Structure 1
């Protein structure tokens, strides 16, 4: 079986993309820059491709990095959801609800529904993402 990337390597890759530099990403994840650099180098060695390159504005994705990024987001999201499901099934957590809607329902209908839901499920966490349908669909696909 091929050697697979480690979760921390995928998280580091995602953080560098999010923060735009190894330095900022390493601070955000409480790692040293050298540890983050080694992690990305090892990830690239395992995959046999270059994912990131230095650009004028910091680290940028290569062509292969742009192909790999959506999969990394999905993998980490799916893993997080799997862990959440296990916690919910074992009664360690009361769950998390995330949904998207346009601006109008968020201000009119949704508030009364959320209040009623929170009364029935006081330990549940609710996150509302507002936006246009096209933005919400993209966010849903990326997890």
Structure 2
């Protein structure tokens, strides 16, 4: 049988069937009772069936009406789902791309990458979650972010981790500090230094604590900062020295802060692209991820040859 009625008539039938009251249904649909009645009449004519028993005092579904209601409700729900799905796909194409990344990447690499991406996709909104490594991992795992850049996640069974670059930790010291001219510094040499530590529970702190546990002697934290950028600011102010990833020094002048390779033991972290296990990135998030990976690799190459390490045997990023 050819369908010769429209969706508005189907919606009118469902509204009346659910309320068994024409006035209440008309108010729900924001049309007049007479307009609603005409829609029901057209639907009944198209079907060749009476769907309601109507008197001045009551409205009731006929047997055919009750049978048709189940199919009509399912049809409307399926149509609404189809419209919602198409709308969501359209939003994903020109909607929002969410990236979660650790602060050192957010501060030193992401602005330039996002500028390039925004020029290519001016109508796409960008949401940046610059958070600690555990929170970046959580944002990707629970779907808040499309993808992330992190050094945690390789051992997480819910995460796909694609390594991009290996980044070495350096001792950040003021330019005039006694250790600034050293080719490398062992942890035991920091015992008498005022040491700026990162907050307990942070991903960086966990890596550094594991390294210091292997050292012959370890420094005592005199000051604690939540993030690497905060630790760098404290070093810059002369409050102490700190172990930071090489990327954190990429924007610093050697006349301001110097990075000295840490040894006995050396410490490094692998930065990678993380996404939900088995999840394929949509076109725009995938494009942004590609741009960011290119920037990370380019930065790694520049830092390896930079003034921070040009006279020293160790590279910041490999």
TM-score by length of 1: 0.61
Matched, 1:66 2:63: no
Of residues 131, 135, 144, the one that matches 1:120 is 144
Q: How big is each residue's C-alpha offset from its partner over 1:27-78, in whole Å with a ceiling of 9 and x where there is no partner?
A: 1111111100010000000000000112697321101001100110111001
Partners of 1:74 and 1:83 in 2: CA distance: 14
Q: Distance in 2 between matches of 1:57 and 1:84?
A: 39
Question: How far apart in 2 are the matches of 1:18 and 1:77?
Answer: 14
1:36 corresponds to: 36
* Structure whose residues are more often helix by fraction: 1
The 1:5/1:53 distance shift into structure 2, 3 A limit, reads same
Q: Which runs of 4+ in 1 moved over 6 A?
A: none
Q: Does residue 8 in structure 1 map to residue 8 in structure 2?
A: yes
State the 1:4 CA deviation.
2.2
Report the Cα distance in structure 1 between the residues aligned to 2:56 and 2:37, rounded to whole angstroms. Answer: 18
Q: For the residues of structure 2 that align with 1:70 and 1:57, how far apart are their CA atoms?
A: 25
How far did 1:2 drift?
2.7
**Structure richer in strand, relative to its length:** 2
| Deviation string, structure 1 residues 98-137 (Cα, Å, up to 9, x no partner) | xxxxxxxxxxxxxxxxxx85x827xxxxxxxxxxxxxxxx
Matched ranges for 1:74-85 at <5 A: 74-85=74-85
TM-score normalised by structure 2 residue count? 0.29
Cα distance in 2 for partners of 1:56, 1:34 equals: 14
SS in 1 for 2:41: helix
What is the SS of the residue equivalent to 1:49?
coil
Any unmatched runs of 5+ in structure 1? Answer: 95-115, 122-143
**Partner SS for 2:4:** coil
Q: C-alpha separation between the residues in 1 aligned to 2:79 and 2:3?
A: 19
Instruction: Note the C-alpha offset of 1:87.
Output: 1.0
Q: Distance in 2 between matches of 1:18 and 1:67?
A: 13
How many pairs does the alignment contain? 99
Q: Report SS of the residue matched to 1:60.
A: strand
The alignment yields a C-alpha RMSD, in angstroms, of 2.5
SS of the aligned residue for 1:76 comes to: helix
